[in-house]
Amino acid sequence: MDFKTQPAPKEGLGAVAADALLLLLAGEQLPADLDAALAAPLKAALADGDLALKPGQCLYLHRVAGVKAARVAVATCGDAAPAAWRKALAEGLKLLKGSGAQHLAVALSGAALDAAKAEALVAVATEQTYVYRHTKPSAPPDSKLARVSLVCAKAEAPALDAGLARGRAIADGIGLAREYANRPGNHCTPSDLAAAAKALAKSHGLKLEVLERKDCEKLGMGAFMAVAQASHEAPKFIVLRWNGAPKAAAPVVLVGKGITFDTGGVSLKAAPEMDEMKFDMGGAASVLGTLRAVAELKLKLNVVGLIPSCENMPGGAAVKPGDVVTSLSGQTIEILNTDAEGRLILCDALTYAERFKPAAVVDIATLTGACVIALGHHRSGLFSSSDALAAELLAAGERGCDPAWRLPLDAEYDEALKSNFADMGNVGGRAGGAITAAKFLQRYTAKYDWAHLDIAGTAWKSGAAKGGTGRPVALLTHFLINRAG
């Protein structure tokens, strides 16, 4: 889908040349300057009680007299604040995406457009028209919509075009993250993730290195290797680099949990909903997606993506509860629950990150069911040892409509990780489970500014609309755009 700005015709919106027009209405009154050809049917709909000028309403009109576009969808967006704007776009697009229209024009009446609204248009339209087909070739055909133009005044165009370009990059990143998250465990193995990283490196000018099992063993990644040891799938430790700034500039390192399937291991999970553990590589997918967006935007910043990836399987070679392993940091870990595997693969990646002398390290992981209990499915959990870094990430989440919420890291929570047989246990009991998981990770991050995003509640949706969301690519990309200045 191609997104552009299009100058508003002098004659009014009725004259917009397109196959379909999506008209967003802000405010509680019909805008006084609305083209009469459109105002007339809307007044009639209001009088007939088929439309109300309050947020969340929509209406479809076909072949309106005096309107060039054959199809018109109207959606109300209240004060046109970010969430209402996105919701109205989604509602309006639902009415049009299955139509025969190839060229859609989008216009806002009653409020002003800005770059954030343009960015959101790309995000919503791309999200709405995504179709998963990798293992379902019979999925419905792609929407015919090929062109979307945002109708605006000439003077607004440069800022809106910049917003559309940012939206395009973020939407492409989200799309990549979503696609790989959706692919089942047997179609998205660690090797498949490494192949995706290779393809991305080639198409977008990134540097790639992949460490194999023997490399990781040699380095001393005892925690990562303990999780990987029962699987017949080869583990991969993916290192992707975007060099957008001079060599000397300290990079931001993103670390994504890449468990391509989490059975729980010997501490086996229950059968219901276990299929959703194919999404346990959502953190890894978001790192790939964010690097794609960063490369498309050609950000003047150095970014490193680290993805420890393996399956968590039971079996004769599996790690057992009570086993003690030595992490890359030298700290020993008593593995009390093999289902707390995310922190085991991440801790070695966090230690590996030290070699980049990073400006900041952010890890992203579908880490705990406890985080879903704490925050539900709207906000990701954010933990950070740095108030400044936490503030940056929270603000980026708001800008990208991909919000997070900070949770604490008080020293008191650390008690739960005590072990009689190792430097730490890998679990701390049910209470505060998202926090004790973050406290475990924090023990590996003394050498740099660090933040952790627990995306267990936000990386995918369950139920009828089961599927990856591509979160938190928007948050991360906004964070990096801001860092690039």
Interface with Zn ion (CB under 5 A) = 259, 262, 280, 342
The token duo for 184 is: 């089942």
Q: Which helix (H) or strand (E) holds 93?
A: helix 82-96
Cβ nearer to ligand BES, comparing 157 with 346? 346
- Site string (249-268) toward ligand BES, x via CB under 6 A: -------------x------
Cβ nearer to ligand BES, comparing 111 with 188? 188
Judged by CB under 6 A, the residue of 23, 299, 344, 370 near ligand BES is: 370
Q: Indicate whether 427 belongs to the interface with ligand BES (CB under 6 A).
A: yes
Cα 264 to the center of its chain, rounded Å: 24
Cβ nearer to Mn ion, comparing 341 with 348? 341
Of Mn ion, ligand BES, Zn ion, none, which one does residue 311 interact with (CB within 5 to 8 Å by kind)?
none
CA distance 109 to 16: 14
What distance, in Å, lies between the first and last C-alpha atoms of the chain? 28
The token duo for 373 is: 């209990």
Q: Indicate whether 262 belongs to the interface with Mn ion (CB under 5 A).
A: yes
**Minimum CB–partner distance for residue 368 and Zn ion (Å):** 9
**Minimum CB–partner distance for residue 48 and ligand BES (Å):** 47
Helix (H, G, I), strand (E, B) or coil at 30: coil
Q: Which helix (H) or strand (E) holds 157?
A: helix 157-182
Could you confirm whether 269 is annotated as catalytic?
A: yes
Q: Indicate whether 311 belongs to the interface with ligand BES (CB under 6 A).
A: no
**Minimum CB–partner distance for residue 381 and ligand BES (Å):** 11
Total residues in contact with Mn ion, by rule CB under 5 A: 3
Q: Which helix (H) or strand (E) holds 76?
A: strand 71-76
Contact 191, 306 (CB under 8 A): no
DSSP notation for 375-405: HTTTSEEEEES-HHHHHHHHHHHHHTT--EE
> Tokens 């805008």 correspond to what residue?
31
Q: Indicate whether 368 belongs to the interface with ligand BES (CB under 6 A).
A: yes
| Cis peptide preceding 7, ω within 30 of 0 | no
What beta strand segments (E) does 196-295 contain?
207-211, 236-243, 252-256, 258-262
CA distance 161 to 168: 10
Of 71, 183, 343, 439, which residue is the catalytic one?
343
Of Zn ion, Mn ion, ligand BES, none, which one does residue 234 interact with (CB within 5 to 8 Å by kind)?
none
**Minimum CB–partner distance for residue 274 and Zn ion (Å):** 11
**Minimum CB–partner distance for residue 475 and ligand BES (Å):** 18
Q: Indicate whether 339 belongs to the interface with Mn ion (CB under 5 A).
A: yes
Contact 120, 93 (CB under 8 A): no
Q: Indicate whether 334 belongs to the interface with ligand BES (CB under 6 A).
A: no
Q: How would you class 1 by CB atoms within 10 Å of its CB: exposed for 0-12, middle for 13-18, buried for 19 or more? A: middle
Q: Indicate whether 334 belongs to the interface with Mn ion (CB under 5 A).
A: no
Stretch binding ligand BES (CB under 6 A), from 231-239, 301-309, 369-377, 385-393: 369-377
Cα-based angle 48, 80, 32 (whole degrees, multiple of 5): 55
Q: Indicate whether 402 belongs to the interface with Mn ion (CB under 5 A).
A: no
CA distance 360 to 391: 13
Of 43, 68, 269, 483, which residue is the catalytic one?
269
Helix (H, G, I), strand (E, B) or coil at 162: helix
The token duo for 472 is: 């938190």
Cβ nearer to Zn ion, comparing 258 with 342? 342
Q: Indicate whether 27 belongs to the interface with ligand BES (CB under 6 A).
A: no
Of Zn ion, Mn ion, ligand BES, none, which one does residue 223 interact with (CB within 5 to 8 Å by kind)?
none
**Minimum CB–partner distance for residue 100 and Mn ion (Å):** 47
CA distance 33 to 438: 54
Cβ nearer to Mn ion, comparing 341 with 449? 341
Contact 482, 396 (CB under 8 A): yes
Could you confirm whether 63 is annotated as catalytic?
A: no
Q: Indicate whether 456 belongs to the interface with ligand BES (CB under 6 A).
A: yes
The token duo for 478 is: 């906004």
Q: Indicate whether 346 belongs to the interface with ligand BES (CB under 6 A).
A: no
CA distance 388 to 384: 9
Q: Indicate whether 281 belongs to the interface with ligand BES (CB under 6 A).
A: no
Q: Indicate whether 337 belongs to the interface with ligand BES (CB under 6 A).
A: yes
Q: Indicate whether 369 belongs to the interface with ligand BES (CB under 6 A).
A: yes
Q: Indicate whether 189 belongs to the interface with ligand BES (CB under 6 A).
A: no
Which residues are part of the catalytic machinery?
269, 343
Task: List residues binding Mn ion (CB under 5 A).
Answer: 262, 339, 341
Task: List residues binding ligand BES (CB under 6 A).
Answer: 262, 280, 337, 339-342, 366-370, 372, 427, 433, 456
